[in-house]
Structure 1
Amino acid sequence: MSIRPVLETRRAQPAIEGAGVHLHRAFGFHDPSELDPFLLFDDFRNDDPARYTQGFPWHPHRGIETITYVLAGEVDHGDSLGNSGRLGAGDVQWMTAGSGILHQEMPRGNLQGQMHGFQLWANLPAALKMTAPRYQDVKAPDIPEITDDDGTRVRVIVGSFWGRRGPVDGIAADPQYLDISVPPGVSKTFKIDTYRRSFAYVFEGAGAFAYASRPTGVLLEKEIAGQEVNIRDMSGNRTLIRFGTGDEVTVQAGPDGIRFLLISGAPIEEPVAWHGPIVMNTQDELRQAMADLRNGTFIRPAQ
């Protein structure tokens, strides 16, 4: 067994998208090979409705899949194919844009005005860039949640973990998407397929991720200096942890525990031509997508 080393930790950066949604971006629009097959990850968390209620009005997507996971508040959505719905706290939507879709996403806060959710973009391989669009909307009660003997809780959104399988399926990147909570002071190791790219995103509490050639349970901050997310600095912020290769991830929870997303997927390793919400393989394909938008042929009829 080999514990994945931490290659990098970085804070998500403030950004404004849509019609004025204030969010934090952990990665995106830089090097698409860094976390291939994943392209972008946004954390849209806010307690001020003025900073998110204008939402993400009608916009196109082609060549990717978008994964929306809501923790607080709601997101109303609709698209050019006539689909509409509402995501509530704990719900997940996996949208395969494929050949092209126009849609909108409009966040609404809870009774306290709080809105919190994540959106992840996953690339599609060339063979599926022009596949028919589809949605998978999953309600919170349908997502398996497992509690281990030490109090660790895992929601299995996509993929298989600890004998349970998430309800979202048929995704090109064959990903694993877990929402993990580890109690204060607990050290825990999680299996990840060796051949997947992986990252963690911490959004509550604090902890240290590390590699070590010693048993789980004896990781101390001073022993893993240079390979940890600093416990003193991480509490309350938004931190991305990018891992190297290996088949395990180890975390030591801080005094208030830690909650993070652990996401991995099989790399596609194909050329990427990217402009905003459209991701193709070549510049010619990208130009064709732009032309389709201009001349009204972006949305393909159902086959």
Structure 2
Amino acid sequence: MANDVIYNITPIEFRLDLKDPFLFTAHHVDHFPAANENMGPAFEPTKEEPYRMYYGDVVPGFPEHPHTGFETITLVERGFVDHFDSLGNGGRYAAGDVQWLSTGNGIEHCEMFPLLHQDKPNTFELFQIWFNSSAEQKKQDPAYKMMWREHIPHVAIEDHYGNQTDIRVISGEFNGTEAISRPLHSWAAAKENKVNIYLMTLDANAEITVPATTSTSTRFAYFYQGTTLGVAGELVHYRHLVELQPDVEIHLKAGDAEARILWLEGEPIGEPVAMRGPFVLNTDQELNDAFRRYRATHFGDWPWSSSAPVFKREQPRFASYNGGVEKEFPEQA
């Protein structure tokens, strides 16, 4: 490629294949219709309004399943998610919220996507980033943290022409504005690892310059909404992933429509990766041992009445911790 700042540009349908410390990101977009009485879709999908049930039968989503050895960072753009896990924790989160789950030495959880509106469509969109852990972090107990939309820091930037850019700082910092702290046993928790995750919204024709990071970092920009985006002088089209040189400033310019970008960068962990389904460890032997341990223990008892539970339709957003003993609501966080 003629532009030395851009390493690759890749069209994206669903999965973004990334590099250390990131594993991959799934971008879910579903045009769910109005809900039935059971918080499932009232109508079948159409070519114009497609959606997936994933592994759900009544409510779409991912019923009870295990993870170990990495983190899931779930950024909801539209819709609702109900979380339940084998620690006895649960919660409901929604558009603008982020859940950061460290799976550590093993956890079972489910993520269901209840459709709450019976009088209008339930359009759904989220990113789930699979983010690796170091060998030491893989041994720690699992834990999760909610980052409520009311508390996620924003950086507002105005260009020379008065066009606005909004940057939600999910991890790391941008121009001195720091994110909410990450879970303790996360590669992203240490400032020296420079794990910066942003959701950027640029007005039509807005321009912004993203500061350089370290020369050893991984750096990606995923342009997921808009028409075109100028990236370091190269024209990029909607739903393309751009791998970028990390140690230079990157100039971005939106086209004739609002542009939205998921920005990912961070220092690599630099350890071997052995991945099999929902387990991410360092060697095949560790994977074999983890699967044997899971078959014997299921990473703890599943305390819920079904493998795909959901909360009542009227349940407000909340999270519970410490085996469900402590409850947190956005206004109390």
Normalising by the smaller structure, the TM-score range is: 0.7 to 0.9
Deviations 1:215-235 (A, max 9, x none): xxxxxxxxx4xx4314xxx2x
Q: Equivalents in 1 of 2:298, 2:75: separation in Å?
A: 30
| Maintained 8 Å contact 1:207/1:251 | no
Deviations 1:221-259 (A, max 9, x none): xxx4xx4314xxx2xxx2211113323222121011311
Q: Equivalents in 2 of 1:101, 1:69: separation in Å?
A: 20
Task: Determine helix, strand or coil for the equivalent of 2:291.
Answer: helix
1:100 aligns with 2:113: no
Closer/same/farther in 2, CA of residues 121 and 192 from structure 1, 3 Å limit: farther
Q: Equivalents in 2 of 1:297, 1:183: separation in Å?
A: 48
Deviations 1:263-295 (A, max 9, x none): 111101111111011000011100001111222
Closer/same/farther in 2, CA of residues 8 and 154 from structure 1, 3 Å limit: same
Instruction: From 20, 23, 27, give the equivalent of 1:39.
Output: 23
Q: Which amino acid aligns with 1:84?
A: G
1:157 aligns with 2:158: no
Instruction: From 132, 138, 147, give the equivalent of 2:147.
Output: 138
Instruction: From 10, 25, 42, give the equivalent of 2:15.
Output: 25
What is the count of residue pairs matched by the alignment? 263
Q: Equivalents in 2 of 1:198, 1:228: separation in Å?
A: 18
Closer/same/farther in 2, CA of residues 159 and 110 from structure 1, 3 Å limit: farther
Q: Which amino acid aligns with 2:15?
A: R
Q: Equivalents in 1 of 2:66, 2:198: separation in Å?
A: 28
Instruction: From 229, 246, 261, give the equivalent of 1:208.
Output: 229
Q: Equivalents in 2 of 1:297, 1:116: separation in Å?
A: 30
TM-score normalised to structure 1 length:
0.81
Task: Determine helix, strand or coil for the equivalent of 1:229.
Answer: strand
Q: Equivalents in 1 of 2:113, 2:4: separation in Å?
A: 36
Q: Relative to structure 2, which stretch is displaced further, 107-116 or 64-73?
A: 107-116
| Maintained 8 Å contact 2:212/2:246 | no
Deviation of 1:186 (Å): 2.5
Deviation of 1:200 (Å): 1.1
Q: Equivalents in 2 of 1:202, 1:77: separation in Å?
A: 28
User: Which residue of the partner structure matches residue 78 of structure 1?
Assistant: 84
Q: Equivalents in 2 of 1:187, 1:206: separation in Å?
A: 15
Q: Equivalents in 1 of 2:115, 2:11: separation in Å?
A: 24
Deviations 1:147-201 (A, max 9, x none): 1123111111111112211114243144211111112222321114123211111
| Maintained 8 Å contact 1:72/1:110 | no
Task: Determine helix, strand or coil for the equivalent of 2:113.
Answer: strand
Q: Relative to structure 2, which stretch is displaced further, 144-153 or 122-131?
A: 144-153
User: Which residue of the partner structure matches residue 8 of structure 1?
Assistant: 8
Map residues 1-303 of structure 1 onto 2, 5 A cutoff. Answer: 5-13=5-13, 24-27=14-17, 35-48=19-32, 49=41, 51-52=52-53, 53-109=59-115, 111=117, 112-150=121-159, 151-169=164-182, 170=184, 171-173=186-188, 174=193, 175-194=195-214, 195-211=216-232, 224=233, 227-230=234-237, 234=238, 238-296=239-297, 298-299=299-300
User: Which residue of the partner structure matches residue 31 of structure 1?
Assistant: none
| Maintained 8 Å contact 2:213/2:246 | no
Q: Equivalents in 2 of 1:43, 1:258: separation in Å?
A: 16
Q: Equivalents in 1 of 2:25, 2:115: separation in Å?
A: 21
Task: Determine helix, strand or coil for the equivalent of 2:150.
Answer: helix
Runs (5+) with no aligned partner, structure 1:
14-23, 28-33, 212-223
Q: Relative to structure 2, which stretch is displaced further, 250-259 or 270-279?
A: 250-259
Q: Which amino acid aligns with 1:266?
A: E
Query: What fraction of aligned residue pairs are identical, expressed as a percent?
Result: 35
| Maintained 8 Å contact 1:199/1:262 | yes
Runs (5+) with no aligned partner, structure 2:
33-40, 42-50, 54-58, 302-321, 323-333
Deviation of 1:4 (Å): 7.5
